[in-house]
Chain A
Amino acid sequence: AQSVAQPEDQVNVAEGNPLTVKCTYSVSGNPYLFWYVQYPNRGLQFLLKYITGDNLVKGSYGFEAEFNKSQTSFHLKKPSALVSDSALYFCAVEPSGSARQLTFGSGTQLTVLP
């Protein structure tokens, strides 16, 4: 069975500083990896995905994530944080070749301080 770990419940960063939200995964075979974000009183919004190819994936709102197969990680990054990036971030994995079933991490609350 697949699993996702987001080791930090809360990440605080100052506006303008780089941010990283960590994610590690465990899955049989090649993983499909996703990041979703939930803003207050909103649904989950898709940010980016890794399916195959380049290990550095670029997504919405200036976010990017790096797939590292040897470390089984898929950390979310942004070079310069904005206060409006404050939200709840979820990492998810879907085993390749399987029927659709995302396995999510427990979420990381990102707070960007002005």
Chain B
Amino acid sequence: EAGVTQFPSHSVIEKGQTVTLRCDPISGHDNLYWYRRVMGKEIKFLLHFVKESKQDESGMPNNRFLAERTGGTYSTLKVQPAELEDSGVYFCASSQDTRVGPDGSEAFFGQGTRLTVV
């Protein structure tokens, strides 16, 4: 079974440019999450999709970030225009269950996209 796949693995862009990150979740996982780790700090939650709907986008830093999941399969995260502070590693994760619980499943993470804005 394929895991969570993210593209690209690395991206270097100039301030003001646009970048689109892609995440392909594990097949059959309705729940998809985006997280970000900036400058060696905590990994922070950005948002959560259930199928194509945004369940929780409380972690999105500002309106320069746009996440989509058309058709409830893969997701994209667009940063437009990129700023220096957007540099970091962006992780995508997916899970089968919306809630953990004793019978629930954990979230599986991709390898991350390292974004560098110069």
Chain A residues in the interface with B (C-beta under 8 A): 4, 32, 34, 36, 41-46, 49, 51-53, 90, 92, 94, 96-107
Interface size on B, residues (CB 8 A): 33
Residues of B within 8 A of A36 (CB): 109
Docked Cα-Cα span, A46 to B105, in Å, equals: 11
**Chain A: minimal CB distance from B44 (Å):** 7
Does more than half of chain B's interface fall in helix, strand or loop, or is it mixed?
loop
Docked Cα-Cα span, A41 to B43, in Å, equals: 16
Partner of A100, one of B44, B48, B110, B112: B48
Partner of A32, one of B4, B100, B111: B100
By the criterion CB–CB under 8 Å, are A45 and B56 in contact?
Answer: no
Residues of A within 8 A of B106 (CB): 34, 46, 49
- Chosen A-B contacts, 30 in total, with CB atoms closer than 8 Å, are A4-B42, A32-B100, A43-B3, A43-B4, A43-B6, A43-B110, A44-B43, A44-B109, A49-B100, A51-B100, A51-B102, A52-B102, A94-B100, A97-B99, A98-B99, A99-B48, A99-B98, A100-B31, A100-B48, A100-B55, A100-B95, A100-B98, A100-B99, A100-B100, A100-B107, A102-B35, A102-B107, A103-B42, A106-B40, A107-B43
